[in-house]
Chains A and B, each alone.
Chain A
Amino acid sequence: MNEQPETVFHSASALGAQVDTLFLALLGITGTAALAVAATVVAFTIRYRAGSKVNRNDPPVRAPWVEVSWTVLPLLIFMGVFAWSSAVFSQFYRAPSNAVRIHVLAKQWMWKLEHANGKREIDELHVPLGVPIELTMTSEDAIHSFYIPAFRVKQDVLPARYTSLWFTATRVGRFNLFCAEFCGTDHSRMHGAVVVMPPAQFAQWLASGPIEPDLVTRGARIYRDYGCSGCHEPKSTVHAPGLIDLYGSVVHLSDGATAVADDNYLRDSILLPKKQVPAGFEPTMPSFQGQLDEDDLAALLAYLRSMPGATR
C-alpha cells in the first residue's frame, strides 16, 4: 500500500495545522510583495520607455518619508511573522506530559522503532489517532533526520545523544517517513511510513505479534544485572544519588550549575559519569560505555522514567 501523497494545506497533525496557517500567511505576504514589485517594474518600464511622451522632469534621488515607510513597514511585518513563528515553534519543544514515548534508533539506512511495551518495528511506525506521541531518537552512526511531511515535523537524529520530536496525528492513514539529512549512499532509500490507526485498532495491533519484554521490565532487569541498585538503592552503604524521583527534576551540580535530569543527562550519567557530578557526591561512579548498547540504554531510561516520582 502506498503512502498518501502530501498536500500543501492539509496536514495530518495538530501542530501541522498551525504551521499551515502561518505558511499561508507567508504566502499571502510574499506573494503580494512579489506581485507589487513586479507590477511596478513592468508599469514603469512601459510608461517610461525611451521615447514615450511623459513627464520626466526632476527624477527624484531621495524621498525620505517614502524610504522610511518602506523600511519600517516591512520591519513591522517581519517582526509580526517572527513572533508568530516563535510562538508556534516553541510548541514543538513542549511535548504534553501524557505523551506516549516511542524509541527511535536510526542507522544507515533504516529506522528501528520500539514501543514501550517492547513491540519493535522497522521502517514503520504505528501510532494511535489523537494521542500525543513523543519520539526519543538517537543514531548509531551518522546524523539522520526524522521527517514526516504530512505532520510538518522534522528533527535531526544524532549519534551519542538523544533528540526528541512530538506530534498528535489528526487523520487516519499511511504517511511518508523520510530521512532528511544526507547520511550516505542509500540516504534516499531510508523510506518508511507512519501508520495512524483509530485507538482501538491500535491497541489491538500493539498487543499482537511477537513482543519482547516491555522496555520498563527490560530496564529493571538491566538495572539489577549491572549492579546499579548496589549503589543507588536507599539501603546502600555507598553515597549515591537516589533515582526514585530523579527524572525530570532539577539537579544541582558540583560546579554550581544546575541541570534538568532529562534523557541526555541520564545518558551522560551512565556513559560519561564524570561529566556532570551532582553536588555533594564524589565522582566515583564507573562508566558503562561499551557495556550497554542503544537498546539497553533505551530500556534503562524507560525504567527510570517509570519510577513513581518521575516528572516531565
Chain B
Amino acid sequence: MSAAPLAHFDSAQRQYESATLGMWVFLATELMFFVPLFLAYARGRVEFGDAFAAARRHTDAAIGTVNTAILLTSSLCVAIAVRSAMLAAELSQTQGRHSAEIDRHLRAASRFLWLTVLLGVLFLALKAVEYRSEWAEHLVPWLDFRFAADHRTGAGYFYLAYFAMTGVHAVHMIVGVSLVATLAVRLGRGDADRANAVAMTGLYWHCIDAIWVFLYPLLYLVGRHA
C-alpha cells in the first residue's frame, strides 16, 4: 500500500481496493476488445476448415513456442517484482522511514521489472523476425499474397486473422513494456510508494499474457500434426 491516500479516499485501503477494481474492469474491456478477433478466427475455422489448417502449418511454431516461454517467464518476474514492491511499501508504512531492508526489496523489484522489460522486448523482436519471414514467404494478405490456388481464399482469411490478433497483441505488449520500464526506473530511484502502480501494471501484464496463452494454440498448434 502506498503511504498517504489521495484526498478523496478516506483510507489507503479504500484507495487500493478502488485501484484494483478499476484495473479489473479495465481488463474486462481489454478482453472484450479481442472478442471480435476471436470470433473472426472461429468463423474462418468453420468456413474454411481445410484451407485454414493448411495455412496454419506455415506459422513458425518454433518462434511461437519460444515466445510463449518468454511470456510465461516474464509473468513470473512480474509476480516476484510485485511481491517485492508490496513488501517495500508495507515496511515503509510501518517503519515510517527508509531502511536498508526497504532498499533491498526495491532493488529486487526493480531488477525483476527490468528483466520483464528485457523479456518483453525479446518477444517483440522475435515477433518482428517472424513477421519479416512471413512477408518473405508471401503470407501477408495485402502484400503480394501467394498460396496454393485451391486454398488461397481460406489461407488469406487465416492470415488476416493471424496478423490482426498478433498485431493487436503486440501493440498491447509495447504499452505494457513502456509501463513496466517506467516503474522499473522509479523503483530503482528508491520510490517506495509505487506498490499500487506495480500491482496494477502486473495485473495488466498477466492479462496480456493470458490472451497470448489462447492465441498460441489457435495460431500455432491446432491441427499441426493432422
Chain A interface residues (CB < 8 Å from chain B)? 255, 272-275, 283, 287
Contacts and interface: CB of A to CB of B under 8 A. Distances in A.
Contacts of B153: 272, 275
Interface in B139-166: 149-151, 153-154
A274 B151 contact: yes
A255 B49 contact: yes
A283 B48 contact: no
B49 A283 contact: no
Interface residues of B, number: 10
B199 interface: no
Chain B interface mostly helix, strand, loop or mixed? helix
B151 A275 contact: no
Nearest to A273: B150
Interface in B19-76: 47-51
Given A274-B50, A274-B151, A274-B154, 13 more contacts: A255-B49, A272-B153, A273-B150, A274-B51, A274-B150, A275-B47, A275-B48, A275-B153, A275-B154, A283-B50, A283-B150, A287-B149, A287-B150
Contacts of A287: 149-150
Kindly list the 5 A-B residue pairs having the minimum CB-CB distance in the complex, ordered from nearest: A274-B150, A255-B49, A272-B153, A274-B51, A274-B151
Contacts, number: 16
Candidate in A273, A274, A275 with the most chain B CB atoms within 10 angstroms: A274
A287 B149 CA distance: 9
Interface of B: 47-51, 149-151, 153-154
B90 to A, nearest CB: 49
A287 B48 CA distance: 15
Contacts of B149: 287
Contacts of A283: 50, 150
A4 to B, nearest CB: 43
Candidate in B48, B153, B154 with the most chain A CB atoms within 10 angstroms: B153
16 contacts: A255-B49, A272-B153, A273-B150, A274-B50, A274-B51, A274-B150, A274-B151, A274-B154, A275-B47, A275-B48, A275-B153, A275-B154, A283-B50, A283-B150, A287-B149, A287-B150
Nearest to B150: A274
A265 B222 CA distance: 28
B105 to A, nearest CB: 56
Contacts of A275: 47-48, 153-154
Candidate in A255, A273, A275 with the most chain B CB atoms within 10 angstroms: A275
A275 B153 CA distance: 9
A111 B50 CA distance: 37
A107 B151 CA distance: 29
A212 to B, nearest CB: 32
A264 to B, nearest CB: 13
Contacts of A272: 153
Contacts of A255: 49
B223 to A, nearest CB: 13
B50 to A, nearest CB: 6
B57 to A, nearest CB: 16
Nearest to A255: B49
Contacts of B50: 274, 283
Contacts of B51: 274
A283 B53 CA distance: 15
Contacts of B151: 274
A276 B26 CA distance: 42
A255 B151 CA distance: 16
Candidate in B50, B51, B154 with the most chain A CB atoms within 10 angstroms: B50
A274 B149 CA distance: 10
A287 B154 CA distance: 14
Nearest to B47: A275
A204 to B, nearest CB: 46
A283 B148 CA distance: 13
B38 to A, nearest CB: 22
A73 B153 CA distance: 52
A273 B51 CA distance: 12
A254 to B, nearest CB: 9
A275 B51 CA distance: 8
A274 B47 CA distance: 10
A223 to B, nearest CB: 22
A265 to B, nearest CB: 14
Contacts of A273: 150
Nearest to A271: B153
A159 to B, nearest CB: 15
